[in-house]
Structure 1
Amino acid sequence: MKYFSFALLLLCLSISCKESPEEKKKLEKINSEESLQSDTIKQKSEPPKMVFKTFEGLADTTFVRLADFSDGFAYDLRYATENNFLKEKVYDCAECYTRVKTVKALLKANEEFKEKGVRIKFFDCYRPNSVQYKMWAIVPNPQYVANPKKGSIHNKGGAVDITLETLEGEELNMGTDFDFFGKRAYHDNFDLPQEILDNRKLLKETMEKHGFWSIRTEWWHYNLGAGSNDKVANFKWPCN
């Protein structure tokens, strides 16, 4: 009797392990649906891939939005906040616009910076001439603020105010904050810790290599040599 029960159990197990064609189709359908659901969840969790614009058909003097061409930069656009020497928000929204030729030079400079573990962070880019008048009213000193009647290279889309940060988002120590009006911000002030001097040197030498030149009184300010002869502009960019 004991042997008969054991044989019967084995027979039952054997029968249960054999799937009928209908059961096999049902199982395949379930597995297919589960796989499809898994792929859908995975697609939803992955951020959409950014598609950047190209320079095809654009003149070098055309104004463009930098973020449309790369996501490799960082931004702290001060004049879109009250954290600036004006103590006033003078940009409706934080955007970095500049001319195509300036963007091309910035992209090349940033690629070199990234090879060294840092990237460009922007404080200011193109600046409407109307904002230049506000700045001049507060600081009418051409050592720090260009006379708006003549216009700044910022107003021409050929200047940027920048610093460097690590690829993890930590700003390099440059010795002063942006828009610090004093000798500590001067390029020819070497009475500073070596770390600060090294950071400024990295910024200056790399930017100059890619067609930019600095001004003596501001470690953050860089003009594109090819942009100084463009016309002063006063347009305001759209805000989404």
Structure 2
Amino acid sequence: MKKTLFLFITCLLISCKSSYLDSKKSAVLLDITREVDSNAFVNIKNYSKDFVFDMKYATADNFLKEKVYPCDECFLRVKTVKALLEANKSFITKGFRIKLYDCYRPKSIQKKMWKIVPDANFVANPKKGSIHNRGGAVDISLVDSVGVEVDMGTKFDFFGEEASHKYQNLSPEILANRKFLKETMLLYNFKSFDSEWWHYNLNGSNKDELSNQKWHCQD
């Protein structure tokens, strides 16, 4: 009885939505256009098999040198997935596919990252949060028709000036690759992040609420 009363009072004080997202994979691909709640979180793997996944924070192969995600799921808001699917279709017609490094990031993970590297030059302060915490940001690159990653000049999460869109002391090929990625993403309602060639935010996603919904890993 006391536990039930405690849960009831808690629900009055904070949102009672489930703190966990459904990681279960659909047996068949789902149609994103049938999703009516544009702000709901969904697993992009249920809507397309045309992306390449290299979720860095589900491994220790990242600038933190530590695994902070339980597994390599990619959740985003429905409206973000819709735009990303259209962008990927465009890339596919030209012989490329989007490679995903990071998607939605629960606020609890943001706090964990901040604890490891408490420097706003590298990690968004969880008090303010990031667009990743809002389900509107993706970190991406491109692969070609045989799965070879396109040369963008630096690795993902390289924090030197060379990672900036404004940096021009790169080969014509690399500059063309970055331009191709950026111009296509801008066509599909995304905005680039000047200092990181890999980071794109869905337009208007900065107005969405910060979220702390986590996910269970599926065997």
TM-score range, shorter chain: 0.7 to 0.9
Q: CA deviation at 1:142?
A: 3.4
Secondary structure at the counterpart of residue 154 of structure 1: helix
Give the match for residue 23 of structure 2: none
The alpha-carbon distance between structure 1 residues 160 and 57, as it changes in their structure 2 partners (threshold 3 A), is closer
Give the match for residue 52 of structure 1: 29
Give the match for residue 228 of structure 1: 206
- In the alignment, does 2:213 pair up with 1:206? no
TM-score (norm 2): 0.84
Structure with a larger share of its residues in helix: 1
Cα distance between partner residues in 2 of 1:177 and 1:94: 19
Q: List per-residue Cα deviations over 1:155-202 (Å, max 9, x = no partner).
A: 000000000001211000001111001101011000101111011000
TM-score (norm 1): 0.76
Q: Aligned runs of 1:61-80 on 2, under 5 Å?
A: 61-80=39-58
Cα distance between partner residues in 1 of 2:106 and 2:35: 25
Point out where structure 2 has 5 or more consecutive residues left out of the alignment.
Answer: 1-26
Work out which of the residue numbers 180, 187, 195 in structure 2 matches 1:217.
Answer: 195
Give the match for residue 105 of structure 1: 83
Give the match for residue 178 of structure 1: 156
- In the alignment, does 2:126 pair up with 1:148? yes
Cα distance between partner residues in 2 of 1:86 and 1:230: 27
Q: CA deviation at 1:132?
A: 1.2
Cα distance between partner residues in 2 of 1:57 and 1:204: 27
Which structure would you say has the larger Rg?
1
Q: CA deviation at 1:143?
A: 4.1
Q: Residues 64 and 117 of structure 2 are in contact (CA less than 8 Å); yes or no, is this contact kept in structure 1?
A: no
Of all paired residues, the percent bearing the same amino acid is: 55
Q: CA deviation at 1:126?
A: 0.2
Q: CA deviation at 1:141?
A: 4.0
Amino acid at match of 2:47: F
- In the alignment, does 2:60 pair up with 1:82? yes
Q: Residues 143 and 217 of structure 1 are in contact (CA less than 8 Å); yes or no, is this contact kept in structure 2?
A: no
Amino acid at match of 1:53: L
Q: Residues 57 and 68 of structure 2 are in contact (CA less than 8 Å); yes or no, is this contact kept in structure 1?
A: yes
Q: List per-residue Cα deviations over 1:119-151 (Å, max 9, x = no partner).
A: 100000001111212322344443442221111
Greater length-normalized contact order (CA 8 Å, ≥ 6 residues apart): 2
Q: CA deviation at 1:57?
A: 4.4
Q: Residues 68 and 113 of structure 2 are in contact (CA less than 8 Å); yes or no, is this contact kept in structure 1?
A: no
* Segment drifting more, 170-179 vs 144-153: 144-153
* Segment drifting more, 145-154 vs 198-207: 145-154
CA-based RMSD of the aligned residues comes to 1.3
Q: Residues 35 and 78 of structure 2 are in contact (CA less than 8 Å); yes or no, is this contact kept in structure 1?
A: no
- In the alignment, does 2:102 pair up with 1:124? yes
Cα distance between partner residues in 2 of 1:148 and 1:115: 39
Q: Residues 125 and 160 of structure 1 are in contact (CA less than 8 Å); yes or no, is this contact kept in structure 2?
A: yes
Secondary structure at the counterpart of residue 220 of structure 1: strand
Cα distance between partner residues in 1 of 2:156 and 2:93: 25
Point out where structure 1 has 5 or more consecutive residues left out of the alignment.
Answer: 1-49
